[in-house]
Amino acid sequence: MRGMSILPYTHKHVQAIRAYKPGKPINETARELHMDPDDIVKLASNENPLGASPTAIQAMKHATQGVNLYPDGSAYELRSKIATRYGVSIEQVVAASGSSELIELLCHTCLGPGSELVAARYSFTMYPLMCQLFGATFVEVENKPDWSHDLQAMLRAISPRTRIVFITNPTNPVGTMVQQAELDEFMSQVPEHVIVAFDEAYIHFAEPQPDTLRYVQRGQNAVMMRTFSKAYGLAGVRAGFAITTEEIAGLLNKVRSPFNTSSLAQAAASVALDDEQHLRDSVQLVRSEMRRYERAFNDLGLSYIPSQGNFVLVKVGDGERVYRECLKRGVILRPMSGYGLSEYIRISIGTAEQNIRCLRVLEAALREIALQK
Ligand SMILES: *Cc1c(COP(=O)(O)O)cnc(C)c1O
């Protein structure tokens, strides 16, 4: 017997959501291609190809002994470490299971029907998704011709209904940045009723790195969001944190679930913060391998968007087609048609070996497509 559909009794705005589409997983690809998962290279989700810090892995192994117990719901050790590191009070630090959760928590505190969120067109797809989830309006602001956030246009997009502005720095998927002077200017003009969220998932790869904590320390309604998923190599563990005013931190702590960060995540993240060598190695790898891609794109006559992240957008013609051709050859990249950038694909920077293979496969894919024309 087939039951009655429950949809008429659920939120209309939830029904309309198209779920977030992550990079294609290795195992799924291996099954479809009848390949060994070890022969597949995934450069689709901006992960750290060096893996996590060995000391963080050790800490997780140790922490498995206590997994029958609930984690510390206040994540005290992790938060106090972060507070000391950044020179803030522990009451200003919120721990979460990745910065996606922080984004959701922030939206939960102040978005609803009739309210608005402002973000750049080329920034994280989580923001419009959250607007749909909470029935709020997403106000998309066109990027500048150089693909960076247009902060002045974002200021003009703010209305009395605006609750949050997201500044993604460097921004995904294009990899551009806004610098300190522009941020200072923006923060001196932004109305007080708006929360400014700095999504700094890729900040470690950038140079220079603007200081956004200063706005929090001045008491402005700003939130600095960081994640352990990218430079720290802990995407599978789910850990991130926010530093903000005590008032906003208190609100975020009210909406989060009581045990939102697992004991393994807390253990790994606390230790990862101290492994500066691993962080430096990870950043160094990305910077030098980025040069390899830039040289190769120049040689192939492909244009690309200079990136300050651990990923790069390259213009390949038919992005979906190139994605499929590379996939057939065991390299998973990220097509960009979801962003309206159907001529581009996004490549996450891997190890030297992975990048060499990726470039070889990309070249073969482009050749194949040219032959079929
Ligand atoms: C990857 C990413 C995040 C965070 O991901 P989590 O794994 O949830 O911490 C946040 N913002 C942007 C722009 C990202 O690309």
Write the pLDDT tens digit of every residue in 305-352: 999 999 999 999 999 999 999 999 999 999 999 899 999 999 999 999
Q: Out of 14-23, 223-232, 274-283, which region has the weakest mean confidence (pLDDT)?
A: 14-23
In the chain, domain spans: 7-51+277-372, 54-274
Contact between 54 and 351 under an 8 Å Cβ cutoff? The reply is no
Using DSSP, state whether 53 is helix, strand or coil: coil
Q: Is 233 in the pocket of ligand 1 (CB under 6 A)?
A: no
What per-residue confidence (pLDDT) applies to 215?
98
From the list 337, 285, 358, 348, the residue with the least C-alpha distance to 312 is: 348
Write the pLDDT tens digit of every residue in 263-292: 999 999 999 999 999 999 999 999 999 999
Task: Please spell the DSSP secondary structure of 306-345, one letter per residue.
Answer: --SSSEEEEE-SSHHHHHHHHHHTTEE-EE-GGGT-TTEE
Ligand 1 atom showing the smallest separation from residue 230 Cα = 1
Q: How many CA atoms lie within 13 A of 373 on its CB side?
A: 10
What's the average model confidence in pLDDT over 298-303? 97
Q: Is 282 in the pocket of ligand 1 (CB under 6 A)?
A: no
Q: Is 235 in the pocket of ligand 1 (CB under 6 A)?
A: yes
Read off the tokens for 123. Answer: 């920034």
Q: 245 pLDDT exceeds 90? A: yes
Q: Residues 133, 42, 30, 359: what is their CA dihedral angle, to the nearest 10 degrees? A: 130
What per-residue confidence (pLDDT) applies to 1?
65
Give the CATH number of domain 7-51+277-372.
3.90.1150.10
Q: Is 168 in the pocket of ligand 1 (CB under 6 A)?
A: yes
CATH top-level class for 54-274? alpha beta
Atom 14, ligand 1: which residue's CA is nearest? 201
Task: Please spell the DSSP secondary structure of 247-277, one letter per residue.
Answer: HHHHHHHHHS-TT-S-HHHHHHHHHHTT-HH
Give CA–CA dist 339/342, Å, rounded.
8
From the list 249, 209, 282, 222, the residue with the least C-alpha distance to 82 is: 249
Write the pLDDT tens digit of every residue in 170-200: 999 999 999 999 999 999 999 999 999 999 9
Summary mean pLDDT of the chain: 96
What's the 225 CA to ligand 1 centre distance in angstroms?
Answer: 9
What's the 34 CA to ligand 1 centre distance in angstroms?
Answer: 31
Q: Is 309 in the pocket of ligand 1 (CB under 6 A)?
A: no
Ligand 1 atom showing the smallest separation from residue 240 Cα = 9
What's the 230 CA to ligand 1 centre distance in angstroms?
Answer: 8
Q: Is 199 in the pocket of ligand 1 (CB under 6 A)?
A: yes
Q: 373 pLDDT exceeds 80? A: no
pTM (predicted TM-score): 0.96
> Residue 92: which pLDDT band, with cuts at 50, 70 and 90?
very high
Which of 99, 313, 339 should be mutated for ligand 1, with most atoms under 8 A from CB? 99
Question: Which residue intervals of the chain are DSSP H helices?
Answer: 12-15, 26-33, 54-63, 76-86, 99-110, 126-134, 151-156, 180-189, 213-217, 246-255, 263-272, 276-300, 319-328, 352-371
